């Protein structure tokens, strides 16, 4: 895990970071308006119903955004990787959070107070454009996922979820093992199915040599076949 000093350096200098778009003067002022926090695995960053107090940015780690449904069952809406934004929709909409955010592993996040966000960050046209593009992409993703989760069969939904994880987090050094280790329950909640169905379908995929499973590690053996299963639904 990065130290707070290295975390600040990473968020200000990484070209993928939204803060890299700030002027030197804005970066210096920013340091007076941020708080860096370490979150342990399974710790909440915010909960559904909380009021946002600022703009949050993931420096290191992985976070899931989920909403509780009927009977307390979770539906994972999206997942965040380093340099990703956390909970900014509610801040911009001036609403409470309609979902919760939890660390999937030990993570480091930066919180920018709302005053600096509205009075300085949003007055930077490059940052505003980046936020608008991010919102537009997430809207498109949500629209596509709505169709997927309501119209595809179990095999298609699970195949798409594995491909999403591949796109979001990539592979380990072996070029095949997903660089994220989710519980079977989280995989089910990402795919809109019961945990037992997720376990059964993963086992079927393994039997078909589409994937290999070692505990929480999932290795994709045949990406093309997985894509075909996803498209066929």
The first and second tokens of residue 91, run together, are 């801040």
* 63, 107 Cβ separation under 8 angstroms: yes
> Any idea where the domains of the chain sit in the sequence?
1-148, 153-232
The first and second tokens of residue 53, run together, are 């107090």
* CATH class assigned to 153-232: mainly alpha
What is the separation, in whole angstroms, between the first and last Cα of the chain?
Answer: 39
pTM above 0.85, yes or no: yes
What whole-number distance in Å separates Cα of residue 165 and Cα of residue 179?
A: 8
pLDDT at 1 over 80: no
- Residue listed under structure tokens 């340091």: 31
* 121, 76 Cβ separation under 8 angstroms: no
Q: What is the pLDDT of residues 8-29, one digit of tens each?
A: 888 898 998 999 999 999 999 9
* 154, 190 Cβ separation under 8 angstroms: no
* Res 78: pLDDT: 92
Q: CA dihedral defined by 193, 195, 197, 198, rounded to 10 degrees?
A: 90
Question: What confidence tier does 115 reach under pLDDT thresholds 50, 70, 90?
Answer: very high
Angle (nearest 5°) at CA 142 between 139 and 146: 145
* CATH class assigned to 1-148: mainly beta
Q: What is the pLDDT of residues 46-105, one digit of tens each?
A: 999 999 999 999 999 999 999 988 777 899 999 999 999 998 999 999 999 999 999 999
């Amino acid at each position: 895990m990065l130290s707070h000093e290295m975390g600040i350096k990473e968020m200000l200098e990484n070209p993928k970071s939204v803060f890299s778009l700030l002027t030197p003067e804005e970066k210096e002022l920013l340091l007076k308006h941020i708080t860096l926090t370490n979150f342990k695995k399974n710790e909440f960053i915010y909960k559904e119903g909380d009021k946002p107090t600022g703009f949050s940015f993931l420096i290191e780690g992985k976070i899931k955004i989920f909403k509780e449904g009927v009977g307390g069952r979770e539906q994972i809406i999206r997942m965040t990787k380093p340099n990703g934004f956390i909970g900014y929709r509610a801040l911009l909409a001036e609403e409470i959070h309609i979902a919760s955010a939890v660390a999937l592993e030990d993570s480091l996040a930066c919180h920018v107070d709302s005053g600096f966000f509205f009075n300085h960050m949003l007055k930077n046209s490059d940052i505003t454009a980046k936020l608008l593009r991010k919102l537009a992409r997430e809207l498109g993703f949500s629209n596509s996922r709505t169709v997927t989760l309501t119209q595809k069969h179990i095999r298609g939904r699970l195949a798409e979820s594995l491909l999403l994880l591949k796109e979001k987090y990539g592979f380990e050094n072996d070029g095949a093992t997903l660089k994220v280790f989710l519980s079977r329950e989280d995989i089910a909640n990402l795919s809109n199915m019961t945990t037992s169905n997720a376990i059964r379908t993963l086992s079927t995929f393994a039997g078909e040599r589409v994937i290999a499973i070692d505990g929480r590690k999932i290795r994709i053996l045949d990406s093309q076949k997985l894509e075909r299963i996803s498209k066929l639904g």
